[in-house]
Amino acid sequence: MSPDPCYVPLGLEDKRITNGAFSASSYYNHHLAPWHGRLNHRWSWSVRHRNNRQWLQVNMQEIYRMKGIGSQGRQDANQWVKSYTLSYGMNGVDFAHYKENGRVKVKYGSCLH
C-alpha cells in the first residue's frame, strides 16, 4: 500500500529542497546558517539577533497544501523557537499570514530530543 500523498515529507529533511532555497533574516555563523534549519540535521539555524523580528524562509519551488510543520531545538545547545507564525506567498516578497477563524495562528515550538 502506498503512503497517503497528503502526509509525505516535502524534502526539507532529506535535502530534496536544496540549500539555495533557504534564506533568513540573520544567522550566527556558517554552521548555523538557514540551510541547516532542517529536522534531524547535524547543525541548526540560529539567529544573530535575539528578537521577535527574525524569520526563516524556504522557497518550496511548487505549490503545496501543507498538513503539518515539524520543529525541534538545537541538538548541541539549549536553544529552540518558542513560538512562530507561518506566512506564505508566491513571489518571495508579498506574504499572507496563515490564519484560523480570521486570526493569525501562533504555533508553539518544542524542543525535541
| pLDDT computed for residue 99 by the predictor | 94
| pLDDT computed for residue 110 by the predictor | 57
Distance CA 88, CA 27 (A): 21
Distance, C-alpha 99 to centroid of its chain: 17
Q: Give a three-class secondary structure readout of 17-37.
A: CCHHHEEECCCCCHHHCHHHC
- The mean per-residue pLDDT over the stretch 33-44 comes to 92
CB 25 within 8 A of CB 55: yes
Over the Cα atoms of the chain, what is R_g? 14
Question: Is 82 a residue whose pLDDT tops 80?
Answer: yes
| pLDDT computed for residue 2 by the predictor | 64
| No. of helices (H) and no. of strands (E), the chain | 0, 8
Q: Identify the residue with better confidence: 67 or 88.
A: 88
- The mean per-residue pLDDT over the stretch 79-105 comes to 92
| pLDDT computed for residue 1 by the predictor | 58
- The mean per-residue pLDDT over the stretch 81-96 comes to 91
Say what percent of the chain tops pLDDT 70. Answer: 92
Mean pLDDT (the chain, rounded): 88
Q: How far apart are the first and last CA of the chain?
A: 31
- The mean per-residue pLDDT over the stretch 81-86 comes to 88
Distance CA 113, CA 111 (A): 7
Closest CA to 113 of 82, 74, 83: 74
Q: 112 falls in which pLDDT band (50, 70, 90)?
A: very low
Would you mind telling me the total number of residues written for the chain in this entry?
A: 113
